[in-house]
Amino acid sequence: MIQTISSSTRFTGTVELPADKSIAHRAALFASIADGVSTLHHFPASADPQSTLSCLRQLGVPIENSPNHTVVIQGGGRHGFCAPNAPLDCGNSGTTMRLLTGMLAGQPFDSELIGDASLNARPMRRIAAPLRAMGARISLTDGHAPIKIQRCEKLKAIDYRLPVASAQVKSCVLLAGLWADGSTTVREAIPSRDHTERMLRLPISRSTQECSINSDALHPIPGGTVILPGDFSAAAFLLVAALIAGTGPVHLPNVGLNPSRTGLLAVLKQMGAEIQVTAHNASGVEPVGSLTVQRSPLRGVVIQGRQIPNIIDEIPIIAVAGAFAKGTTILRDATELRYKECDRIHAIVTNLRKLGAEIEEFKDGFAITGMVPLKGNTVSSYDDHRIAMAMGVAGLAASGTTTIQNADAASVSFPEFWDTISRLQT
Ligand code: S3P
């Protein structure tokens, strides 16, 4: 699908966001190994969480879709999965593949996980190495998926220091630990999103140097009712759109405000953004609130080091904010961006240059000089949902018309994105 976006004079309204993708994957995966029925409210129709559901169905987990995005999962406990009779297709979803590999490493049957071309190009040694240290029998295809897992009745616990700040790797090892002999410890020096440890209520200890999280075969898996909050990473595109385009305000109710995800708010506030945050009394383990944002003049910032994992998914849209900020916005220490759904550093730099931006590429980031007028052009989504949406927002604030190729990539996390943009413009 080709999407055209024209510069906007009006951009205002209230948006109900799709539910948080990271939380939705985990809610479904954990419900499948809980004992009894779990009801997940607001389960997203987006492609990635649906890939998780279809893999779980292939593993024999009874899942019912009820009206209003409610999904009912009959958990079978830790030993409830059945051997799949075909490869498990994770689509475009790295979270599905990496977390599910952890859950399948210690099962009494063989399995295979496959993905689309983008997922099959993403690094998987980062999960295979710790799982092999636990005794799992995993084979990769030149460091990538397809991933073949041979049956393994008992994993052994490990004490693992994460070599890369990654919630997916952390979660993969902790989940494998649920089928291991002894207590598995994962240590992280730089915090990454903490949904797994929160939702499973895993024991955590913190020192000045690191955070360590434990899992073991006796840890009870909580099931029950989960109300999924709106996706902060989807909100990010609308926040920046409202800051740089049209009149505002834009109101975003029921957004997940887990502090390991909301680093963008601090970045945007440092840039001069006017954003009101109202925290709600959340009933679950994940904090929720609402956001109201006004158009605001922005200034450039430097983003680096420990800030990066918290804002990793928001960097494409931060680059767009930087293009409309006074001064230079510099991003460093973000080499991980090259291993996402596409090489996001390359995609951001190439696309923004096509619109006329002054942007320099580094191995681990970029520097963008703001306030250089952007002019519409044709850009590619690189088949990456976040690149597609970031370029849509750039198109709202650039002069003329911007054409985004393969814009339907947005449906991986935000299927209503293009309709939402057009509604707020009119
Ligand atoms: C995610 C973790 C992050 C993030 C991804 C979702 C998760 O990946 O980029 O969109 O749900 O755990 P890494 O853990 O590889 O950094």
pLDDT in tens, 286-314: 999 999 999 999 999 999 999 999 999 99
pLDDT at 283 over 80: no
Q: Taking CB atoms and a 6 Å cutoff, what residues make up the pocket around ligand 1?
A: 22, 95, 166-168, 171, 192-193, 312-313, 336
Residue 127 shares a structural domain with residue 241: no
* Residue type for position 425: Q
Residue 260 shares a structural domain with residue 219: no
Which residue(s) pair with 279 in the sheet?
Answer: 289
Residue 322 shares a structural domain with residue 334: yes
How many Å apart are CA 242 and CA 119, to the nearest integer? 32
Tell me how far the alpha carbon of residue 176 is from its chain's centroid: 21
Residue 320 shares a structural domain with residue 217: no
Task: Take residue 414 and report the two structure tokens written for it.
Answer: 């935000």
pLDDT (mean) for 11-31: 98
pLDDT tens for 345-392 read 999 999 999 999 999 999 999 999 999 999 999 999 999 999 999 999
Residue 315 shares a structural domain with residue 405: yes
Which residue segment(s) compose the domain that 306 sits in?
3-19+229-424
E-assigned strands of 67-219?
70-76, 88-89, 111-114, 137-141, 144-150, 155-156, 159-161, 180-181, 184-188, 204-206, 211-215
Q: Indicate the pTM of the whole model.
A: 0.98
Domain boundary among 181, 209, 226: 226
284 pLDDT tier (thresholds 50, 70, 90): confident
Domain count, the chain: 2
313 an active-site residue? yes
Task: Check which CATH number belongs to the domain holding 308 and give it.
Answer: 3.65.10.10
Burial state string for 221-242 with b = 16 or more CB within 10 A and e = fewer than 16: bebeebbbbbbbbbbbbbbbbb
Residue with tokens 């002054």: 358
With beta carbons less than 8 A apart as the criterion, state whether 365 and 345 touch. Answer: yes
With beta carbons less than 8 A apart as the criterion, state whether 32 and 73 touch. Answer: yes
Residue 293 shares a structural domain with residue 207: no
Domain boundary among 162, 191, 226: 226
Gap from CA of 209 to ligand 1 centroid (Å): 22
Atom of ligand 1 nearest to the CA of 168: 14
209 pLDDT tier (thresholds 50, 70, 90): very high
Domain boundary among 226, 247, 262: 226
Gap from CA of 247 to ligand 1 centroid (Å): 33
Atom of ligand 1 nearest to the CA of 22: 11
How many Å apart are CA 188 and CA 70, to the nearest integer? 34
